[in-house]
Amino acid sequence: MFVKTHAGALVGIDAVAVTVEVDIAASGLGLYLVGLPDNAVKESEQRIRAAFENSGERMSGRKVVVNLAPADLRKEGSGFDLPIAVGILAAMGRIDAAALADTMFAGELSLDGSLRPVRGVLPLAVRARREGLRRLVVARGNAAEAAVVDGIEVIGAGDLKECVAYLAGEAAIEPARAAEAEPFERAATRYEADFADVRGQAHAKRALEIAAAGGHNVLLIGPPGSGKTMLAARMPTILPPLTREEALETTKIHSVAGKGGFEGGLMTRRPFRAPHHLASQVAIIGGGQSPRPGEVSLAHNGVLFLDELPEFGRSVLEVLRQPLENRAIVVSRAKYSVEYPANFTLVAAMNPCPCGYYNHPTKECTCSPGAVHRYMGRISGPLMDRIDMHIEVTPVTPEELAGAAPGEPSAAIRERVMRAREVQRERFRGAEGVHANALMNAAMVRDCCRPDAAAAALLARAMERLSLSARAYDRILKVARTIADLAGRADIAAADVAEAIGYRSLDREAWGR
């Protein structure tokens, strides 16, 4: 008997439809899997046989051929266990084949027949809806994640026996329901960390507010213990809350990477990724033999924090240049090419020298000028050009720690950031993929960042004295535009340009020499 059902394969952060065709021949023995399956799919035969045995089912004693179409698309992962198993049972007559016609399946079978969650269920649910299917059957642990997609019924089963009983009409399973919008909105602004915890550091907090308002990349440079990591960890708390569309896109990336399991099925807060400086190039960018999103994509719509920036490998840092510019990363190999979104805010931190005390107000630096210069030279000029703001973080004195009142809470800063972002949304209405000043292209900079005469003269002098590149020139204008937006000014004033130039510390000729 011939039957077919539906599954999905992941390509990048999206899924493509896969038809599982099962045919039981009149003669012959064995189970044959065709359609370019990888090792995990080929091994499903043993899992399915054991699951049948332990679920009270019997494998057909005749030749069973399973084709995964289209046959030229490589099928990876253990999520094909369930669609293959129910396809075989339908071909054997245990399940009515009509029950599979409008249903997609995804799940890994344990040897005892229980269903385990698999990665990428959210894009599979999106694909099932686009294919016009009515229902998606997954492991119970994946049900909440898949249920966030409207327009498709999601059934979460605990094991193969329960799934077969449901498809045969012998048992009922209540469809999973998406989380309500109100709890999502409350959770989107609930953070354990808060800028109120930061004492002093008014200059650095002001700079991070500007960075959050315009989506600008930031480098924090200062001695050990000055609060760089503490400040960076609080950056997500002043960013606008995730919209439901952003949450869906961000959750898809984490689902494909196998990092799902969020309460209510959706990520509610902007991601904050802080990879160790020993992370490999593939871990940061993504790819691999079975391609997965890297840290730059896991930080999409959030913050990528690189602590001890000069300690990262030179090749790792250089591959950041393309996603910082294009807000996406394309992983190309001989047999595949996938694109992952990477629209993140980069917050990097570093010491000013190997010993950490160059330019320290009270402690003496023990490094030679050459050592400081070599240390700073670990970060290339092109990468530094792509970082909009260079912020010097000075140590907080004991008196400031003991006597300073609690700082301004993140909620108050976030309100100002959101007002500035609203101005930018109106400015870029109709410009696809541009919603913040940092995303402007050269033409937009010319149209939207017109300084007055005094500001233009000041910027011209800074360009000459600091020997700034054309890219740095544009980035100063973008930051000045954000400063003006925070102040509610339509035009860029000289004070805005002066403050933006002040956030280019490492462009000073005397630094590190």
Residue owning tokens 């213990």: 225
Query: How far apart, in Å, do the first and last CA atoms of the chain sit?
Result: 79
Torsion of CA 263, 266, 270, 272, to 10 degrees: 60
User: What is the maximum alpha-carbon separation in the chain?
Assistant: 89
| Separation CA 84–CA 33 (nearest Å) | 9
Q: For residues 262 and 219, give the distance between their C-alpha atoms in angstroms, rounded to a whole number.
A: 31
Distance from C-alpha of 380 to C-alpha of 314, rounded to nearest angstrom: 8
Determine the Cα–Cα distance for residues 486 and 138; give it in Å rounded to an integer. 47
What is the pLDDT tens value at each position of the chain, 513 positions in all?
899 999 999 998 999 999 999 999 878 788 999 999 999 999 999 999 999 999 999 898 899 999 999 998 989 989 999 999 999 999 999 999 999 999 999 999 999 999 999 999 999 999 999 999 999 999 999 999 999 999 999 999 999 999 999 999 999 999 998 766 556 666 767 888 889 888 888 899 999 999 999 999 999 999 998 899 999 999 999 999 988 889 899 999 999 998 877 777 788 889 999 999 999 999 999 988 778 899 999 999 999 999 999 999 999 999 999 899 889 998 887 767 888 999 999 999 999 999 999 888 888 899 998 898 899 889 988 888 889 999 999 888 777 777 666 778 999 999 999 999 999 999 999 888 888 999 998 889 888 998 888 999 999 998 888 777 788 888 999 999 999 999 999 889 999 999 999 998 776 544 544
pTM above 0.85, yes or no: yes
DSSP 394-448: PPPPHHHHHHPPP---HHHHHHHHHHHHHHHHHHTTT-TT--SGGG--HHHHHHH
The total number of residues written for the chain in this structure: 513
Alpha-carbon distance of 401 to 226, in angstroms, equals 12
Provide φ and ψ at 34, rounded to 5°.
-130, 165
Give just the sign of the alpha carbon dihedral 254, 230, 374, 501. positive
